[in-house]
Amino acid sequence: MNRRVWQSAALAAAAMALTTSCGLAAGIYAADIDADRLEGRWTNGGSVSVTFHADHTFSGESLGKYPVTSKCGGPEGLTSGTWAFWAPTEPGGTSFTVEETATRGSMLSLRFDGRECSVDVYLYGDDADPAMCPAPDADEGCAETGYLERSDEDG
């Protein structure tokens, strides 16, 4: 192999290692997880946290820090609500709807109590190490506010 090919390969490997070491790998791949894997406390490592319950309710702190929640009004009221997975409208389909009976998914809808507002949340990584981000679309990610990761288990 000539020097130019080796340089390209080394640059690609370095970029992959940097992405993985910085925790950005979670933002690359959509994760499809079970509801029981979703249940529990998630945090961004700072002041934001959300706890998902088996009865499809959630409670949270500082969720108003995510830009996508601005459409829901004042951030102080974004403390609880209900959640459901987005699911295909037909098996293998590409159209999705919020489905309260879905037990697995890669996208969530959070509906806040007392508000006519919902926020989409995208799941990244894999079943063993998922992360999530409230965002207007899956490609936007959570650069400034940080991805939410499980905080109530040892891994």
More confident: 26 or 75: 75
Instruction: Answer yes or no: pTM beyond 0.95.
Output: no
- Cα 64 from chain centroid (whole Å): 15
pLDDT at 118: 94
User: Residue 126's pLDDT band (boundaries 50, 70, 90)?
Assistant: confident
Query: Per residue in 85-101, pLDDT tens?
Result: 999 898 888 899 999 99
pLDDT at 124: 93
As a whole number of angstroms, the distance between CA 107 and CA 87 comes to: 8
Mean pLDDT score across all residues of the chain: 82
pLDDT at 46: 92
- Cα 115 from chain centroid (whole Å): 21
17 pLDDT higher than 50: no
More confident: 23 or 123: 123
pLDDT at 81: 96
User: What is the three-class DSSP state of 4?
Assistant: helix
Q: Which two tokens stand for residue 20?
A: 């993985």
User: Residue 21's pLDDT band (boundaries 50, 70, 90)?
Assistant: very low
